[in-house]
Structure 1
Amino acid sequence: MLNRLIANWVYGGVLAGLLLLLLTPLLTASWSEALTATFLLLPVYMLHQYEEHDNDRFRLFFNATLGKGKDVLSPTAVFITNVPGVWGVIGLSLYLAAGGNVGWALIAVYLVLVNAFVHIVHAFVFRGYNPGLGTALVLFTPFGAYALRQVQIAGGGAPAFHAIGLVIAIAIHAAILLHVRRQL
Structure 2
Amino acid sequence: MKATVSRLQANWVYGGALVGVCLLVLSPLLTAGWPLGERLVWLVLPVYMLHQLEEHDGDRFRLFVNATIGGGREALSVRDVFVINVFGVWGVMVVTLWLMRAVAPDWGLVGIYLVLVNAVLHFVQALVMRRVNPGLWTALVLFLPLGVWGLAEIGPGATPAAHTVSLAAVVVLHVAIVVNVRRRLARA
Instruction: Name the TM tier (shorter chain).
Output: over 0.9
Is 1:46 paired with 2:58?
no
In the alignment, structure 2 segments of 5+ residues that lack a partner are none
The one-character-per-residue Cα deviations of 1:20-61 (angstroms, maximum 9, x if unpaired) are: 000001000121112111000000000000000000000000
CA shift for structure 1 position 101: 1.4
Supply the distance in 1 between the matched residues of 2:148 and 2:45 (Cα, whole angstroms).
Answer: 15
Length, aligned pairs only? 182
Give 1:152 deviation, angstroms. 2.5
Match of 2:147 among 144, 147, 159: 144
Q: Partner residue of 1:158?
A: 159
Which amino acid is the alignment partner of residue 179 of structure 1? Answer: N
Percent sequence identity is 53
CA RMSD of aligned residues (A): 0.8
Show the counterpart of 2:169. Answer: 168
- Residues in 2 aligned to 1:180 and 1:110: alpha-carbon distance in whole angstroms: 22
Q: Moved runs in structure 1, 4+ residues, more than 2 A?
A: none
Match of 2:68, as an amino acid? T
Taking the aligned partners of 2:88 and 2:13, their CA distance within structure 1 comes to 14
Distance, in Å, in 1 between the alignment partners of 2:82 and 2:149 is: 28
State the 1:85 CA deviation. Answer: 0.5
Q: Match for 1:53: what amino acid?
A: H
TM-score, normalised to structure 2, is 0.95
List runs of 5+ in structure 1 lacking aligned partners. none
Q: Check the 8 A contact 2:109/2:155 in 1, yes or no.
A: no
- State how far apart, in whole Å, the 2-side matches of 1:97 and 1:149 are: 16
Separation (CA, whole Å) in 1 of partners of 2:88 and 2:124: 21
1:179 aligned residue: 180
The equivalences for 1:68-87 within 5 A come to 68-87=71-90
SS in 2 for 1:148: helix
Aligned match of 1:31: 34
Q: 2:99 aligns with which of 63, 86, 96?
A: 96
CA deviation after TM superposition for structure 1 residue 80, in Å: 0.3
The aligned counterpart of 2:7 is 4
- The correspondence for 1:110, drawn from 87, 108, 113, is 113
Equivalent in 39, 64, 68 of residue 67 of structure 2: 64
